[in-house]
Amino acid sequence: MNYEGFKQYVADHIKEFLPQDYSVHEISITKQRKNNDVVWDALSIKGDSNIVPVIYLEPYYQAYTDGARMDDILQKIADMYMKSMEQVSEFPIESFQYDSVKNSIFVVVQNAGMNQELLEKVPHELREDLALLYRVNMELPNGEKGSVLIHNNHLEMWGIDEKTLKEVAWDNMHNYFPPEFASLGKVLRSLGYNEIPEGAELIEMYVLTNKDKHYGAAYMFDKEVMSRIAEEMGGDIVVLPSSIHESILLKKEKDTDFDTLREMVKEVNRAQLLPTEILSDEVYQYSRDTQTLSRVVAVSQEEIPMPDKVSMEEMHDYGYTWDGMLPLTKERALELLDTELVLHKLYNDGAEATLDSRNEILSHDGLFGVERDSWMEYLNAQSQIETNGMIQEM
């Protein structure tokens, strides 16, 4: 039986394994979008309750392909559903009021590009190619723990704004979800890899997470923590996004091979992580002097002709750190105003705003920018015009 046939069989026969009063319930299989745009099939059994537990079918199909009997699988699904319904019925709605959950709100980091649809529904803050989101730790009456992603409608229900949510979440990080920072060697030995020699090169790598070692990668954006680590390490830091749960740090050296590190990150993401746990294929660096985290641009990207004399490093020092933007001076912005390029005002808090008039340029005292992709398209178009001109003259 293939996967599609398996799903249909479960939908057709699951009621046979549920109590008699479930015979009138509606059975459906829906698509549930998880982190990084991963879509799982979920069995839904809907009755009178507004809260409907869902059961993901992929693990059960894996059990079927491994030889488990369908009757045993259906019984496990039914048992899991009944257990979930008991937990839902015991969960008091007042437990999710703001005063009850505010000390359990914390910050998580996910990939922005792979979660664009989700970001439209949740409060978030964009940082480089990543996004900071917020979750609430919850405990069910039976003692089981989990967390809930905060959506925009939760803010409306609680009567708070996004600024308040952000402040509360970061305060809670230190009070209730403190960071943990240890050498990679120590972490691996704690997992039973005792054969690692004390002088091994990977001892120079460190793991940054939280005390629960769950959703701890967000600490790479905590200025206080990163500043303290940079002082301890004696310089700038290279940050490798190990997963959504932790990051690996090492001291930046003059000969740091970022391309090799980037390939290493990609390999780990593809070979070692579940698709929902991948954070990014990029490599980042933290500046001890400016206390900013920025994405390291690949050498192939750095070789493009810059639109102005301002460097990416100067833009980072200014306070704008997204490398998808190329910096411009006021003079160069005025020169490019009449082209088809979309120009931006850059602010030293990392924000930007589009502009289209000379007065807007003259009234802004900071840097300007043009998006990298737009600049490349513009250069290619200009090159094509010049080439066509040469052909015509010949």
Number of domains in the chain: 4
Specify whether 113 is located in the same domain as 194: no
The H-or-E segment that residue 363 falls in is helix 358-363
Percent of the chain clearing pLDDT 70 (strictly above): 85
How much is the pLDDT for 88? 56
How much is the pLDDT for 30? 83
> What tokens were used for 319?
């306070």
Band (pLDDT 50/70/90 cuts) for residue 110 is very high
Specify whether 274 is located in the same domain as 184: yes
Give the domain range for residue 55: 3-90
Specify whether 166 is located in the same domain as 226: no
Assess if residue 300 is contained within a domain.
no
> What tokens were used for 153?
């409608």
Specify whether 13 is located in the same domain as 39: yes
Specify whether 107 is located in the same domain as 145: yes
How much is the pLDDT for 153? 92
Which of 236, 269, 295 is the C-terminal boundary of a domain? Answer: 295
Sign of CA dihedral 185, 189, 192, 195: positive
Specify whether 311 is located in the same domain as 388: yes
Q: Which residues contact 191 (CB under 8 A, 6 or more apart)?
A: none
Specify whether 242 is located in the same domain as 279: yes
Band (pLDDT 50/70/90 cuts) for residue 40 is confident
Specify whether 265 is located in the same domain as 309: no
Average pLDDT of every residue of the chain: 84
Q: Is 208 exposed, middle or buried (0-12, 13-18, 19+ CB in 10 A)?
A: buried
Which residue, chain included where needed, has tokens 């992929």?
Answer: 58
**In this predicted structure, which of 209-213, 232-236, 380-384 has the lowest mean pLDDT?**
380-384
Q: Which residues contact 303 (CB under 8 A, 6 or more apart)?
A: none
Query: 308 near 332, Cβ under 8 Å?
Result: yes
Q: Which of 3, 5, 77 is nearest to 45 (CA)?
A: 77
DSSP assignment string, 192-255: T-TT--TT-GGGG-EEEEETT-SSGGGGGG-HHHHHHHHHHHTS-EEEE---SS-EEEEE--TT
Pinpoint the alpha helices (H) of 120-161.
152-158
Which of 245, 263, 295 is the C-terminal boundary of a domain? Answer: 295
- In this predicted structure, the answer to whether residue 343 has a pLDDT above a threshold of 50 is yes
Specify whether 136 is located in the same domain as 55: no
Summarize pLDDT for 216-248 with one digit per residue, the tens: 999 999 999 999 999 999 999 999 999 999 999
